[in-house]
Amino acid sequence: MELILWWMPPALAIAAAIVVLLQLRARRTRRADTAEPRPIAHSDRLTALPEYRSAMRRYRGLLAAVTAAAGILAIAAALLASRPAAVSVQQPELATRDIVLCLDVSGSMVEYDAELVRVFGELTEQFTGERIALVVFNASAVTYFPLTNDYEYVQEQFDTVTDQFTNGEDAYFDGTFFGEGSSLVGDGLAACSLRFDAPDDDRSRSIILATDNLVVGDPIFTLTEAGQVAADRGIHVYGVNPGDTASRDYVEELAREFRTVVDATGGAYYSLDEPDAIESIVASITSEQATIVTGSPRLQLADQPAVPLAIAFFGLAGLMVLAWRVQR
Amino acid sequence: MTTLLRTVSTRLSIHAHRRVRGALEGEYTSVFHGRSTEFDDLRPYVPGDELKDIDWKATARVGAPMTRRYIASRKHTVMLVTDTGRGMAAIAAGGESKRDIGIAAAGTLAYLATRHGDLVGLVTGDADHTDYRRPESTDAHLERILQLMHHRTTLDSGASDLTRQLRYVARSFRRRMILLVIADDRPLGDAETALLRRLSVQHEVLWLTVGDADPMREEWERDRVYDVADGAALPPYLRSDPRLRAAFTAATADRSDNATRALDSLGISSQRIERTADVMPALFRLLEVHKHARR
């Protein structure tokens, strides 16, 4: 618990002291004209009575209660005026991520794509402010949906695309064949790099690029050039390569190129045999991102007026009732 | 200057047609002059005159009751014993200043006395000092002593302690006098009772109590009621307490009963007044009671 306006209590105390002093000074002169003075003699006729003493005790009790209520009210009000707030240390990390899922939808990759979409679908449920986009590419890239934090919509799209992946319906690769060849990874990565809007915002940008890097045809961007485009935009590229296995060493050269490009953007490279391994890969990507995007911790202040407000209310209520009793 | 004495004499003449003035004079005469032996003259009877002073032959001759007047064998001395402490500057039960009521009472008796050629002196003061004005019978003298009472009695005066003035009287005077003590609702202590017993043997003591104001008056609810003795205010919360009110009413009645009884047992005639209008009837009753008590 912290006070946002920490200088308020002493300032109020000083102000109160000044007001009290002025009141005391004004009182001497004011008293004469408001309340008519009635000098009487032998008030011991009254004050010597036992009933007077018990009435005096009651009066003192009431005055003490009034003072207490006024004090509580004053303290609670001063507390309210100084804005009590709960302090929490916020790491400006994962919540500011922008993630573009950049999936190669050539025939050999569909199985892995489906798994990636499933894992991110689960991950989305924990997202608080992260934005995610889905781009599929083959010969050309198609934005399945742009960067958004409308998780309901994202979930809906993930479900649709998963259906399409598993049923083998062709809708998911609609529009991905405009180009020379297939699996034009360089073009795909370059296209994904351009999907980040708001380039001036202080957000972390990453691309999950799933491809086996088996390029057929003539791309506009080579993978290396596309990696440079991503790096220029401060985008970390995380590569997931199902083709990079010992059993298929004919792709070793391609895999090495892929790894080099990805490492150059500050991302990481993962090779895998089984689609099941994707879950652990995504987890490691997430944790790696956490270490990268962790900025300086930020203090988050949230006003907490409820308790002093309740106390002030009861203080005021008590004061009014007691003051009425005294006045009566 | 509007004189205090003129105020007193004016009040007496206003009351003349009510026969109160005449009655009061008659009372004064019969109480203090009736016993003289040297015949002076005749005057019409006024209520209050001793019946035995009526000259029946003259009455038959004139056709109206005539009273014989006697030359006083010697001049009486009326000593006013009053209080100029701040207690006397407080408010009386009737709402006026106790001081003004005291002055009206002192002035009235003093005026009557000087009309009969008697001398009027004054012993006054507060807890700190006592003032004495030797007895004289001129109007100027009366005015001076009334003015003295008027100016000395303020809220800034010393504390009230009439016992001091009574002690002064007991110590200072050898001759027999008529004492008019103007007191207030103060309790009579043992020392004072002893003092009064001693004084009532030597002097004729008339006791007038100026009743003190009720601090619990409802119309004062919004006012600042305070005791002149120490300046301590009585909180409005306490003044409006009904239980306290009942207890106070009972205690006040008790207190004034006790005071009357104590004075009665000393053979001192006393009356309690609450306002200026009470002064003449109260003096009349006081003299009346005193006349019978003396027998």
- The tens digit of pLDDT for each residue in B163-200 reads 999 999 999 988 888 899 999 988 888 888 999 999 98
Read off the pLDDT band of B84 (50, 70, 90). Answer: very high
In chain B, % helix, strand, coil (3-state, to 5) comes to 50, 20, 30
- The tens digit of pLDDT for each residue in B281-290 reads 888 888 888 7
Mean pLDDT of all residues in chain A? 82
Residues of A in contact with B86 (CB under 8 A): 39, 41
Distance from CA of A76 to the nearest CA of B (A): 28
Nearest to B197 by CA among B138, B263, B134: B263
What pLDDT score does B201 carry?
87
Cα B36 to Cα B58: distance, rounded to the nearest angstrom: 19
Residues of B in contact with A35 (CB under 8 A): 222-224
Nearest to B212 among A31, A36, A40 (CB): A40
Residues 6+ apart with CB under 8 A from A270: A238, A239, A240, A241, A281, A284, A285
Nearest to B84 by CA among B9, B183, B179: B183
Nearest to B110 by CA among B201, B203, B202, B206: B206
Instruction: Flag whether residue A35 sits within 8 Å of chain B, measured between CB atoms.
Output: yes
What pLDDT score does A109 carry?
79
Domains of chain A in start order, with CATH, are 2-23+49-86+304-327 (no CATH), 94-296 (3.40.50.410)
Angle among Cα A73, A74, A77 to the nearest 5 degrees reads: 80
Read off the pLDDT band of B18 (50, 70, 90). Answer: very low
Nearest to A39 among B222, B228, B248 (CB): B228
Residues 6+ apart with CB under 8 A from A115: A275, A276, A278, A279
Distance from CA of A60 to the nearest CA of B (A): 10
Nearest to B155 among A39, A46, A328 (CB): A39
Cα B273 to Cα B282: distance, rounded to the nearest angstrom: 7
Cα A234 to Cα A201: distance, rounded to the nearest angstrom: 12
Instruction: Return the DSSP state at B54.
Output: B
Averaged pLDDT, B263-287? 88
Distance from CA of A49 to the nearest CA of B (A): 7
Task: Judge: A55–B88 Cβ closer than 8 Å, yes or no.
Answer: no
What pLDDT score does A317 carry?
94
Find the range with the poorest average confidence among A109-113, A189-193, A292-296, B122-126. Answer: A292-296
What pLDDT score does B180 carry?
93
- Burial code (b: 16+ CB inside 10 Å, e: under 16) for A137-158 equals bbbbbbbbbebeeebeebeebb
Backbone φ and ψ for B104, nearest 5 degrees, come out as: -60, -45
Instruction: Flag whether residue A27 sits within 8 Å of chain B, measured between CB atoms.
Output: no
Residue matched to tokens 């004053």? A74
Question: Which of the listed ranges A164-168, A252-256, A313-317 does the model predict with the highest average pLDDT?
Answer: A313-317
Instruction: Return the DSSP state at B97.
Output: B
| CA distances to A132, A169, A216, A224 from A227, in Å | 20, 31, 18, 5
Task: Judge: A45–B248 Cβ closer than 8 Å, yes or no.
Answer: yes
End-to-end CA distance of chain B: 44
Cβ neighbour number for residue B277 with a 10 Å cutoff: 15
Residues 6+ apart with CB under 8 A from A191: A135, A137, A140, A141
Identity of the amino acid at B44: P
Read off the pLDDT band of B36 (50, 70, 90). Answer: low
Read off the pLDDT band of B19 (50, 70, 90). Answer: very low
CATH code assigned to B77-294 = 3.40.50.410
Read off the pLDDT band of B134 (50, 70, 90). Answer: very high
Averaged pLDDT, B203-228? 88
Mean pLDDT of all residues in chain B? 84
Residues of A in contact with B184 (CB under 8 A): 41-42
Q: Is the pLDDT of residue A288 over 80?
A: no
Residue matched to tokens 């008796």? B109
Question: Which of the listed ranges A203-207, A274-278, B8-12, B193-197 does the model predict with the highest average pLDDT?
Answer: B193-197
Nearest to B183 by CA among B56, B270, B58, B250: B270
Are residues B220 and B283 in contact, defined by beta-carbon separation less than 8 angstroms? Answer: no
- Residues 41..60 of A with a Cβ closer than 8 Å to B: which? 41-43, 45-47, 49-52, 55-56, 59
Cα A28 to Cα A34: distance, rounded to the nearest angstrom: 11
- The tens digit of pLDDT for each residue in A79-103 reads 888 888 888 876 655 567 788 888 8
pTM given for the model:
0.60
Q: Is the pLDDT of residue B208 over 90?
A: yes
What pLDDT score does A292 carry?
58
Task: Judge: B243–A55 Cβ closer than 8 Å, yes or no.
Answer: yes
Domain locations in chain B? 4-71, 77-294
This model of the complex carries an ipTM of: 0.75
